Amino acid sequence: MTEETIFSKIIHREIPADIVYQDDLVTAFRDIACKAPTHILIVPNELIPTLNDVTEKDEIMLGRMILVATKIAKREGIAEKGYRLIVNCNRHAGQEVYHLHMHLLGGKPLGPLLGGLPKTLAR
């Protein structure tokens, strides 16, 4: 069995967190070190360490993660102005917690990723 993570403990309410959503497949809670006015993590209830470890059996859960993110974005009032969903995978992406999670970030202009598109493409 894969070892428990800090996120497993949050999911099972063994340590405190500001949980904003939970169902049979995913849990969402506010990031402890928020990098935007809205910074919420959406995580599978089952421990999957990284994006590299997902398989076909996770298809419904992965869809749920995105659907839940969009619902929370609307509830947080950030949907219309916009938000960003990020999944970091392994060291080069800076993954710190080895329990798959999606960051939902919004509530302010987030700036371009990777310096933005060349002006000719950015329409």
Catalytic residues: 101
- Residue 39 backbone phi and psi in degrees, to 5: -145, 100
Closest CB to ligand 5GP among 108 and 117?
108
User: Judged by CB, which is closer to ligand 5GP: 28, or 73?
Assistant: 28
Q: Which is nearer to ligand 5GP, 46 or 88 (CB)?
A: 88
Ordered strands of the 83-86 beta sheet: 19-22, 26-30, 38-44, 102-106, 83-86
Say which residues have a Cβ less than 8 Å from residue 123's Cβ, sequence separation at least 6. Answer: none
Please state the closest distance from residue 90 (CB atom) to ligand 5GP, in A: 10
- Binding residues for ligand 5GP, per CB under 6 A? 6, 17, 29-33, 41, 88, 94-97
